[in-house]
Amino acid sequence: MIKLNLKRKFVLAAAALTISFTVTKAQDGLFPFEEKGKYGFINQSGKVIITGQYSFADQFYEGLAVVKESGKKGFIDKSGKMVIAAQFDEAYKFKDGLAVVKKEGKWKYIDKTGKVVIESNADYTYNFNDGAARFQKGLKFGYIDKTGKEILPATFEAAYDFSEGLARVKTGNFKTGKWGYIDKTGKMVIAANYDDAFEFKDGLANVRVGNEATGKYGFIDKAGKWVIEAQFDKANQFSEGLASFRAGNFKTGKWGYMGKTGKMVINPKFDQAMPFSEGLACVKIDGTWKYIDKTGEVVIDKDFSFPSDFKNDMAFVKIGGLRAGNSAYIDKKGGFVWQGAK
């Protein structure tokens, strides 16, 4: 067992790892549901596989899912067996074979047997991604490897997970500093020249030059070269070859989609637009959410108050309001696979 000798200090943005099954992608063929305050799991046919019995349930990742019972969190397998006892105050999904948990005020990393493999005295710890995990010491961020070794000390004003070998970090003052990209040696391989920056996906990262109100977004490659010049009022990451962008300001602008050359593929006509997943994307039109295909045609024309990405041919939605509405899972034709009790 490895110990990280870091002092506990004020935790910044501790809610960053809070997980809600309604906004993340389902994994491993089982889908969590909630009915009358109890959580269980259904399969792709809508059949209940694990009955509603938990006060909370996350999705399955790497074969295990976080559940909560009697005020504590643990992990179940796909048969519903509690394979790691509900003993943690906090527990997050397995990633790269390890999960972050909190017990008796201390953050730890456990393996799939429940064995503690890294103990941390950091103020906050994050999931492993791309072989490294962030930790927070006071108001600064650093990184460890899977042996628990501190590979980069907590010196960054802000930092995010590694993705495709690079991590976005902020240098200088928290409010006025610039964003750049480091490798796992800590070398700044893409200079901190950006007012905002996001993780690499499919070899490209969306970055902003200028302030949030009037700045422009474009895309760079891993050499820091502009592939799509900064010209968009807002631009999100690429997914399945398309990226959503906004033309106009936050209040009145419209969203469309571009290809990897920056060429417009779907004209900006939506109030909001989410990434494509399994060939479909959820978009907001006149106050409600619908699903489009890659030509921009609405293929699921129902009024959802909350949508999510398709995964394993299903998507979680809500109808009739975020709080009081009815929860459901739909298939790619818009048919209801499962509906919660009203």
pLDDT in tens, the chain (342 residues): 444 444 333 333 333 333 333 334 445 689 999 998 999 999 999 999 999 999 999 999 999 999 999 999 999 999 999 999 999 999 999 999 999 999 999 999 999 999 999 999 999 999 999 999 999 999 999 999 999 999 999 999 999 999 999 999 999 888 889 999 999 999 999 999 999 999 999 999 999 999 999 999 999 999 999 999 999 999 999 999 999 999 999 999 999 999 999 999 999 999 999 999 999 999 999 999 999 999 999 999 999 999 999 999 999 999 987 777 889 999 999 999 999 876
Contacts of residues 222-227 at CB distance under 8 Å and 24 or more positions apart, as own/partner, are 222/164, 222/165, 222/166, 222/181, 222/189, 222/190, 223/190, 224/181, 224/189, 224/190, 224/191, 227/260, 227/262
Residues 6+ apart with CB under 8 A from 43: 29, 30, 31, 49
Residues 6+ apart with CB under 8 A from 277: 25, 239, 240, 309, 310, 311
Q: What is the CATH architecture of 245-342?
A: Beta Barrel (2.40)
Domain ranges of the chain: 245-342
Fill in the DSSP letter of residue 15: G
Evaluate whether 66 touches 91 at the Cβ level (below 8 Å).
yes
